[in-house]
């Protein structure tokens, strides 16, 4: 029986998807186990495949995480994709490929920020979920400057974006693709209308619901993956928002996104099947 490591981070019950994925893999004859990515006792070479799933503590240690990922021979998604998608500077590249993104001002360490008119968001270029992302009103430049300075002081580049009002009514549309095919979609409600202290696990789960994805959203998600030849990946999540009557990219999640396997009965078997095919 093939052995597969599901890479995670230290903690108890880190990811609700883990148990269902492990069961689905067992059902297709794949022996899988959780392994903490920065645990020095793990013999990574003993696994036929390593699948990155819930390595959600790497944001402050991206270089260390990339060094680990580079050392894994059979990594999914592969190292080049991990390096690309773990830093939101990729939005510049996507826009250069003719794809619509949320307007973005990048403010790397040592640079001065430019804020948008109206409400805007400041978040780190390397981050997990909504952590360290903050929404500011137009008159709150002093508070926003302080947040930028705090992120810069920790060595983190920043991206500044206008707050997209449609998130409050329509939410974000998270499209999950498995083995290049659309699997299911989620609606993500507004995360930045409460303080970071209130964005606990329960709040974040309450903001998620299974969505009936719009056909044009799915088509746009497919075009995003095709534009960068990412349609072959084991998994991908394309997060879209409605902006000026069209879909725009919020994030392209190819490293360790929540895939919300517990919301769709067929999702875990689809992912397990895709893993098994790569082992064949």
pLDDT digits over 147-183, tens only? 999 999 999 999 999 999 999 888 899 999 999 999 9
Tally of domains within the chain:
3
Q: What is the pLDDT of residue 166?
A: 92
211 is in which domain, residue-wise?
Answer: 90-100+166-254
pLDDT in tens, 85-110: 999 999 999 999 999 999 999 999 99
pLDDT at 192 over 60: no
Examine the domain organization and report whether 21 and 78 are in the same domain: yes
Q: Is residue 267 part of a domain?
A: no
Maximum distance among all alpha carbons in the chain? 60
pLDDT band at 199 (very low <50, low <70, confident <90, very high): very low
The verdict on 95 and 204 lying in the same domain is yes
Predicted local distance difference test score (pLDDT) of residue 244:
87
Q: What is the pTM of this model?
A: 0.92
Asked if the structure places residue 207 within a domain, the reply is yes
Q: Is residue 34 part of a domain?
A: yes
* Spatial separation of the C-alpha atoms in residues 62 and 68, rounded to whole Å: 10
Proportion of the chain in helix, strand, coil states, percent, rounded to 5 = 35, 25, 40
């Amino acid at each position: 029986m093939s052995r597969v490591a599901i890479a995670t981070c230290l903690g108890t019950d880190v990811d609700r998807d883990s148990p269902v994925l492990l069961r689905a893999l067992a059902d297709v004859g794949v022996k899988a186990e959780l392994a903490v990515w920065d645990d020095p006792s793990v013999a990574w070479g003993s696994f036929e495949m390593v699948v990155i799933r819930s390595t959600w503590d790497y944001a402050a240690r991206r270089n260390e995480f990339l060094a680990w990922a580079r050392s894994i021979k059979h990594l999914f998604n592969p190292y080049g994709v991990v390096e690309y998608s773990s830093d939101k500077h990729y939005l510049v590249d996507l826009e250069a490929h003719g794809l619509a993104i949320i307007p973005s001002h990048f403010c790397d360490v040592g640079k001065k920020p430019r804020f948008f008119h109206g409400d805007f968001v400041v978040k780190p270029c390397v981050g997990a979920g909504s952590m360290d992302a903050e929404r500011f009103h137009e008159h709150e430049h002093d508070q926003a400057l302080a947040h930028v300075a705090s992120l810069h002081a920790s060595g983190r580049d920043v991206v500044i974006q206008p707050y997209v009002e449609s998130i409050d009514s329509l939410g974000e549309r998270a499209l999950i693709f498995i083995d290049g095919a659309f699997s299911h979609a989620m609606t993500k409600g507004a995360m930045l209308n409460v303080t970071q202290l209130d964005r606990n696990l329960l709040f974040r789960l309450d903001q998620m619901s299974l969505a009936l994805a719009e056909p044009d959203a799915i088509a746009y998600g497919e075009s995003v993956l095709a534009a960068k030849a990412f349609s072959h990946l084991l998994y991908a999540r394309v997060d879209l928002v409605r902006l000026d009557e069209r879909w725009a990219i919020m994030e392209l999640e190819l490293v360790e996104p929540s895939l919300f396997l517990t919301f769709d009965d067929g999702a875990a078997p689809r992912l397990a099947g895709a893993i098994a095919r790569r082992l064949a």
